[in-house]
Amino acid sequence: MLGFVPQPNLHWSYFLGLTEQYWVQQPPRSFLNQWSKRQWRVQS
C-alpha cells in the first residue's frame, strides 16, 4: 500500500461500494474470521 495514491474519488467510492456490498451479503464475524486467518497466514 505504500506509495499508492488513489484517484480522488473514483477508486475510493468504488472500494467503499464493494465493501458495503460485501458487508451486506456476509455477517461481520465471518469477515473478521477470514481476515484474521489471512493475517495469520501472512505472518507465519
pLDDT in 10s for each residue of the chain, 44 residues: 456 665 566 777 777 887 777 767 666 677 677 777 877 777 65
What pTM was computed for the model? 0.28
Instruction: Say what the pLDDT of residue 20 is.
Output: 79
Q: Where are the alpha helices (DSSP H) in 1-44?
A: 10-25, 28-43
Distance CA 35, CA 24 (A): 16
C-alpha grid cell for residue 18?
464493494
pLDDT at 35: 74
> In the prediction, which pLDDT does 37 show?
80
DSSP letter, residue 2 = T
pLDDT score, position 18: 79
